[in-house]
Every structure is written in structure tokens, then in C-alpha cells.
Amino acid sequence: MSGSPYGAGFNVSSGGGNQNITGSYTEGARLKLLCNPMTGNSNPYSRLNASCFALPSVGSIGLESGVNYLTGPGINNWDLSLLKEFAVKARVHFQFRVDAFNVWNYTQFSGINATLNAPDLTGACTNSH
């Protein structure tokens, strides 16, 4: 199954929040998307390339990028059932059944670290761990 859509967020260490960027308590600022941010790495802490993002401009209303423009990791889940039915008499049947869930024991990450850090409103974004 393919992954769920999500968007990257950001944290500014010097206290630059939504009101400092958009001028509003309710309107959230969105990061500018400069290139394809997916690294192809399977590590959930380094799947995004931070250099592909830029902080929103002060006074922005958050239209630099779309909403939920990234796709999270998919799910690889195999369930298995084995069944054998035995006839004891014409109307009496006996059934032997074995069920196994997530047979190959794949790790299923529910999401990735999508919060980028910046020292101030003019700084570059970095991945957070």
C-alpha cells in the first residue's frame, strides 16, 4: 500500500513563529519547495534533503508550496492463512486453520521526521534528529 500524503514543517530557534512571518495567529506559513526533497534513503530521520527547502518570506501567507505535497513510506504487510478441512461423516466436518499476521516481520514506520530547523528567519534549514 502506498504511503499517506504529508507536508514538511519547520522550527525557528530564535522564536520566529507564524505571527512573525504571516502576521497572523491562525494562518500558518509553509516552507518554499526548491527541488525534489526525497533522498531515497530508507532511514526515517534522513529521507528529506533540507537544502531543497527555504524558509517562507516575511509577510508570506503560506502559498510558496502546496499542502501535503510529499508521500510517506508505504506499508509492506503480508498476512498468511493455511486451511485444511477434514470430512468425518457426510454432515460433520473438522477444520484445521493457522493464521499469521505480518509473516515476514517487516518494520512499518508510521511516518518520517518532517520538521526542519533554522537558527533564525534568514538561516538555512537543516534536518532535525
- CB distance 12 to 45 below 8 Å: no
Q: How confident is the model at residue 7 (pLDDT cuts 50, 70, 90)?
A: confident
**pLDDT at res. 126:** 67
Mean pLDDT across the chain? 80
Which comes out higher in pLDDT, residue 78 or 124?
78
Provide the domain limits for residue 3.
1-75+108-129
Which comes out higher in pLDDT, residue 54 or 109?
54
Q: Give how many domains the chain has, as a whole number.
A: 1
Among the listed residues 76, 72, 79, the one whose alpha carbon sits nearest the alpha carbon of residue 110: 72
**pLDDT at res. 79:** 93
pLDDT in tens, 85-113: 999 988 999 999 999 998 988 877 766 77
